[in-house]
Amino acid sequence: MPSLCCHVSAPTPLLRAAKLLPMPRLLLSRKFAWNLLAVVGLLAACTVGTDHLTVTDDDIAVPPAATSESSSDTSPTFEPTPVPDSDPDSASESADDDPAIDSGSVGDIDPALDGGPGLGDRYYPGYGNGGYDVQSYELTIDWNHTDRAMDATAVIDLMPTQELARFNLDFVGLTVESVVVDGQDAAWDRSGRELAITPNATLRSDVPTQVTIDYSGEPDVLQSLGAPFSGGWTDLGETIVVVGEPEGAAGWYPVNEHPTDKATYSITLTTDSSLAVAANGIQTAKIVNGDGTTTWTYVTDDPQASYLTTLGIGDFVFHEGDPSRSGIPVRHWFHADKFEESVITMERTGQMIDAFESIFGPYPFDVYGSMVVDQDLGFALETQTLSVFGGDLVDQFATYEDIVAHELAHQWFGNHVSLGQWSDIWLNEGFATYSEYLWLEQIEPGYDIDADIRELHANLGFITGSPPGAPPADDLFNASVYIRGAFTLHALRLTIGDEAFFQTVAQWVEEFGGSWAVTSDFIQLSEEVSGQDLGAFFDTWLFAEGLPELPPA
């Protein structure tokens, strides 16, 4: 895992240690922000190394000038951040690392019948693949914990959206043993992140298709194109954990790696009976085999973006928390060495669900909980129905409860309503960060959210000047996306009033839940609900350099 550029220990649990990038999740919570202020002198001396960031021309693009696409004629006034040139000595995963073994001659393909290696994301056009929509993934994995290797099968049900003589999946490392399309062996080849498949017969549009891929090997983490960290199948020693944002899923199963192609999942994993297995969704089976292994099966019935798919293998202990008043089960998996601290930190999860349901609408999934691993990761990740926490984020004082609220809020914002473009990451992180304050507003009598936000605003201009609606393509998870994203929502609330603001938030979840949306959708909805022209407002808060002043209360 990446190291922190500085780490300052605080004398009491009320002042947590300050942690900076690079790390997979920037902990821009309420407590983190105040710690940041307390150590500003040290922060100025810290530098963030990004030498290991791999950016290739095939996967990253300079974003075009953004537009709010609202009813206003006003356009944002900003210049897109240039993307670094590719390093010729640091290419992305090469086909040489996993040589292609063709199962047959591919031959020439009519470009009109080729789905292509990309979905056209503004920042990362190489993410995902075109020509089809995945309906479900069924992953069956035999995990050898001693050899750290897997034998696996992925059964992918997809719906072609056009005629396809060839289509791609994202898949890195591991060895492909065979590819079968609708019961027939298919030709395939690999290059970098791409697994190109040529079925025996052209796939027809809107006719369901099943792809079965057998593969094996030792999975590994992938270096991100969108931030200076790596993710995916992460080996922590005795514990395995999957943290896939933004594109780590391709390191352990073949996938259409973009949040616009959400699908249901079934994950069946067999490993040593001494180990527990946790994953997204509902556990539907646990079978103790006669050879010292146990088979675990988890199923998610709600559409899920690939980067939100998680898996944990290790010395985990199941803990059932108090459910929400609405009946949502709270089911955690805590590493044995972190069990007591985890129980204390996650104790109010059910109450948080109640609080957020009163604002955002019904919790969108069947179950919720957290998985706490036995290593100081320096981050948490909102993997769907089972958020992942490092062991450094739990303690005897529930110091990090704001992060628990942050990851829970993501279940509505980012998981249920997913991103249509990675450039709109503020829609995930701004909402989750502001939700930390909404949680306090719900539970603390007399809490003044406006005063708290204004004090933060007055002191954090030095890291929130860049536009959150247009983050650098190689630094998606920067401070402004989180904090100024939250400021934007508070400023909107002050501008249109509480009634229109909370109606907009609830309607956002209702209209786009289960699918995806982009910033222009949120702007349009805010204008429709409020009856105001908000083009200039959003241009200033999301797309202009420099931190704007908050409207009067």
- For 88-120, write each residue's pLDDT tens digit: 232 233 333 333 334 444 457 899 999 999 999
Domain assignment present for 123: no
What letter does residue 542 receive in the DSSP assignment? I
Q: Is 390 helix (H, G, I), strand (E, B) or coil?
A: coil
Residue 408 lies inside a defined structural domain of this protein: no
Provide the residue range defining the domain that includes 534.
61-82+417-553
**What percent of the chain clears pLDDT 90, i.e. is strictly above it?**
78
Confidence of residue 226 (pLDDT cuts 50, 70, 90): confident
pLDDT score for 181: 98
- Average pLDDT of the segment spanning 72-79: 32
Does the pLDDT of residue 63 top 50, yes or no? no
Report DSSP letters for 308-347, one per residue. G--EEEESEEEEEEPPPTT---EEEEEEGGGHHHHHHHTT
Is the pLDDT reported for residue 247 higher than 70? Answer: yes
pLDDT at 66 over 80: no
515: three-class secondary structure by DSSP:
coil
The dihedrals phi and psi of 175, each to the nearest 5 degrees, come to -115, 125
Rounded to 10 degrees, what is the CA torsion of 336, 275, 302, 198? 140
When comparing pLDDT for 255 and 1, which is higher? 255
How far CA 401 is from CA of 29, 67, 215, 377, in Å, comes to 10, 37, 40, 16
Average pLDDT of the residues in 452-465: 95
Q: Check whether 401 has a pLDDT greater than 90.
A: yes
Grouping H, G, I as helix, E, B as strand and the rest as coil, residue 128 is coil
User: Mean pLDDT, to the nearest integer, of 443-455?
Assistant: 97
For residue 505, what is the domain's CATH number? 1.10.390.10
User: Is residue 304 included in any domain, yes or no?
Assistant: no
**Residue-level pLDDT at 411:** 98
Q: Which residue, 404, 451, 411, 446, is CA-closest to 428? A: 411
pLDDT tens-digit series, residues 276-306 = 999 999 999 999 999 999 999 999 999 999 9
The residue written with tokens 């908000």 in the block is 534
Segment 146-174 shows an average pLDDT of: 98
Q: Which residue has the higher pLDDT, 228 or 181?
A: 181
The answer to the question of residue 309 being in a domain is no
> In the predicted model, is pLDDT for residue 2 greater than 70?
no
Q: Is the pLDDT of residue 527 over 60?
A: yes
Q: Tell me the angle at which helices 449-459 and 479-496 cross, rounded to the nearest 10 degrees.
A: 140
Q: Give the per-residue pLDDT at 229.
A: 75
Residue 509 located in a structural domain: yes
Residue 318 lies in a domain: no
d(CA 319, CA 474) in angstroms, rounded, equals: 38
Q: Is 147 exposed, middle or buried (0-12, 13-18, 19+ CB in 10 A)?
A: exposed
Residue 311 CA to residue 371 CA, distance in Å, equals 9
pLDDT at 379 over 80: yes
Tokens of 311: 């898996």
Q: Which of 259, 250, 313, 238 lies closest to 424, judged by CA?
A: 259
The pLDDT confidence band at residue 10, using thresholds 50, 70 and 90, is very low
Q: For the chain, give the mean pLDDT.
A: 85
* Across 8-37, average pLDDT: 34
Whether residue 351 contacts residue 323, with contact meaning beta carbons closer than 8 Å, is answered with no
pLDDT for the residue numbered 107 = 59
**Cα-trace Rg, the chain:** 23
On whether the CB atoms of residues 151 and 216 are closer than 8 A, the answer is yes
Tens of pLDDT, residues 108-152: 789 999 999 999 999 999 999 999 999 999 999 999 999 999 999
Mean pLDDT within 180-189: 98
Q: Where in 199-292 does DSSP place strands (E)?
A: 209-217, 221-223, 230-235, 240-243, 263-272, 276-279, 282-288
pLDDT of res. 223: 86
Is residue 271 included in any domain, yes or no? Answer: no
HSE value, Cβ hemisphere, 13 Å, CA-based, for 541: 27
| Number of independent structural domains in the chain | 1
Residue 550 lies in a domain: yes
Containing 524, the helix (H) or strand (E) segment is: helix 519-530
Stretch 428-450: mean pLDDT, rounded?
97
